[in-house]
Structure 1
Amino acid sequence: MENILAEVKQEITVNVPVELIWHAWTISNRVALWFAQETNIEAKVGGAYELYFIPGNRTGMNTKGCKVLKLDPFQKLVFDWKGPDQFSSLMNEGETLTIVSVNFEKVEGNMTKVTVRHTGFKNGDAWTDAIKWHEMAWSGVLTSLKNALETGKGELCCQP
């Protein structure tokens, strides 16, 4: 059995109220403004958390089948995750799905700290590459979130 190796953790503070951040993560058409162009989000435990990074493509570069695992409104969102195509045989089969936890914390004024913790990575060179890729990707995702909410100009993640 493989051991858990690491987690990817990224944080950002966004100058908007926690309610806006929460909706940006839990309403499909809002997620589409900063994360993935096509989404299927059902904000309920067991609901879909599907992102399609290439619109219309249901076979690659997506999180098809991923579900919301926990929902604590305005505080925490947890969903399972499928990695990009280059890691699909490693991360996207059966019980090997990783878990993404997003915490929302109101800070001074109307600012919100968003913390993404991505867990479930295992030992091995391929997993190390997956971790490095996700560190880069989550950093970009959070920057896009901040830009979209503060300036209206998000940059979609993981475009080919």
Structure 2
Amino acid sequence: MKLEILKHQIDVQADKQLVWQAWTSKDQITKWFANEAFIEATEGGLYEVGFTYLGDGPTNKDCKILSIQPPSRIVFQWKIPVKKKFHLDENLSTIVAVSLEEKDNQTIIKLFHSGWGEGENWLQAKEWQMQAWEKSLSSLKSYIETGEGFLLWQA
């Protein structure tokens, strides 16, 4: 696996606890990110979010929370939602770390995505995922600030 890390940052006009709930609550995450979810917000708990609308069937099955420090940081396993498109082994996962910092009446969200493999298929998957994270974080910002998020297929 390569050491390259995708990095994203976005500021949201909201309390950190509200943003934390958006990442760790099934009822919240399905309003801005995935159309289905099963989250056990404890270390070792499941972090399964599904993107059946992307045409690959259920995704992120059996992904787990590797580390959790409420309400500031969560690290979880991640499978590329459109793995068939990139001919990736459905059992391979990467790692996503999300940290939240409250500053000046807003929450700064930092997302780091690591664990990428090598080769053209991984490169294409990484490029797709980079754009997907940008859209997803924009959806989160919209959801938190206006009450209206959008899923990838709606973006």
* Common fold by TM > 0.5: yes
TM-score normalized with structure 1 length: 0.87
Contact residue 70 and residue 78 of structure 1 kept, 8 A: yes
- Quick check: 1:128 aligned with 2:126? no
Q: C-alpha distance in 2, partners of 1:44/1:127?
A: 30
Q: CA deviation at 1:82?
A: 0.8
| Counterpart position of 1:98 | 94
Contact residue 121 and residue 131 of structure 1 kept, 8 A: yes
- SS of 1:16's equivalent in the other structure is coil
Contact residue 6 and residue 112 of structure 2 kept, 8 A: yes
Count the aligned residue pairs. 152
Q: CA deviation at 1:90?
A: 2.1
Unaligned stretches of 5+ residues in structure 1: none
Q: CA deviation at 1:122?
A: 2.1
Q: C-alpha distance in 1, partners of 2:60/2:87?
A: 14
Contact residue 40 and residue 50 of structure 1 kept, 8 A: yes
| Counterpart position of 2:63 | 66
Q: C-alpha distance in 2, partners of 1:87/1:66?
A: 20
TM-score normalized with structure 2 length: 0.90
RMSD of aligned C-alpha atoms? 1.9
Contact residue 70 and residue 77 of structure 1 kept, 8 A: yes
- Quick check: 1:84 aligned with 2:81? yes
| Counterpart position of 1:41 | 39
Unaligned stretches of 5+ residues in structure 2: none
Give % identity: 38
Q: CA deviation at 1:157?
A: 2.7
